[in-house]
C-alpha cells in the first residue's frame, strides 16, 4: 500500500497508531488560518448588528448579564460566543506556531520562508 519510507514507517501497527494520533491531533496551518478568517467574519457581522465589540459582548455573556427569555436571542448569544471562542483559540494556536517558526530562523527570512502553510499545528 505505501512505498518507500512511508512503507517502512507503517511496517508496524504501533507506528501506524502513532501516525494516526499525530494526524488526529493536529491541523494544517491553512485550516487554522481559514478558521481565523471565518470566525473574524462572523464576529464582524455580530459587531455591526449590535454595535458592540466581541470582547465586550463576551465579558457580559460570561458574567450572565444577558437576558435569556427569547430562544432566538439565546441562539445568537451562543453563535457569537462560539465564534469568539474559536477565534481566540485559533489565534493562540497561530501565535504559538508562528513563534516556533520564528525561533527556528537563524538568519533574516523572506515572507515565503515564514509561510507555514504545511506546518501541522497541535489541536
Query: Is residue 1 domain-resident?
Result: no
- The total domain count for the chain is 1
Query: Is residue 19 domain-resident?
Result: no
Query: Is residue 6 domain-resident?
Result: no
Query: Is residue 49 domain-resident?
Result: yes
Q: Which residues of the chain have pLDDT under 70?
A: 1-26, 113-123
Is 65 in contact with 77 (CB distance < 8 Å)?
A: no
Distance CA 40, CA 11 (A): 43
- SS3 at position 76: helix
- What is the value of pTM for the model shown? 0.71
Is 50 in contact with 73 (CB distance < 8 Å)?
A: no
| Residue 103, domain extent | 28-122
Q: Give the pLDDT confidence of 39-71 residue by residue, as tens digits.
A: 999 999 999 999 999 999 999 999 999 998 899
Query: Which single residue is written with the C-alpha cell 455573556?
Result: 61
Enumerate residues 6+ apart whose C-beta is below 8 A from 121: 26, 27, 28, 29, 32, 93, 94, 96, 97
Query: Is residue 20 domain-resident?
Result: no
Query: Is residue 14 domain-resident?
Result: no
Query: Is residue 43 domain-resident?
Result: yes
Query: Is residue 12 domain-resident?
Result: no
Amino acid at each position: 500500500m505505501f512505498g518507500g519510507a512511508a512503507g517502512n514507517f507503517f511496517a508496524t501497527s504501533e507506528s501506524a497508531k502513532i501516525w494516526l494520533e499525530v494526524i488526529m491531533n493536529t491541523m494544517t496551518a491553512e485550516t487554522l488560518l481559514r478558521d481565523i478568517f471565518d470566525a473574524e467574519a462572523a464576529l464582524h457581522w455580530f459587531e455591526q448588528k449590535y454595535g458592540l465589540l466581541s470582547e465586550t459582548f463576551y465579558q457580559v455573556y460570561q458574567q450572565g448579564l444577558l437576558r435569556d427569555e427569547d430562544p432566538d436571542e439565546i441562539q445568537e448569544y451562543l453563535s457569537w460566543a462560539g465564534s469568539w471562542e474559536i477565534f481566540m483559540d485559533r489565534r493562540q494556536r497561530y501565535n504559538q506556531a508562528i513563534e516556533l517558526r520564528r525561533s527556528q530562523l537563524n538568519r533574516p527570512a523572506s515572507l515565503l520562508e515564514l509561510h507555514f502553510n504545511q506546518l501541522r499545528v497541535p489541536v
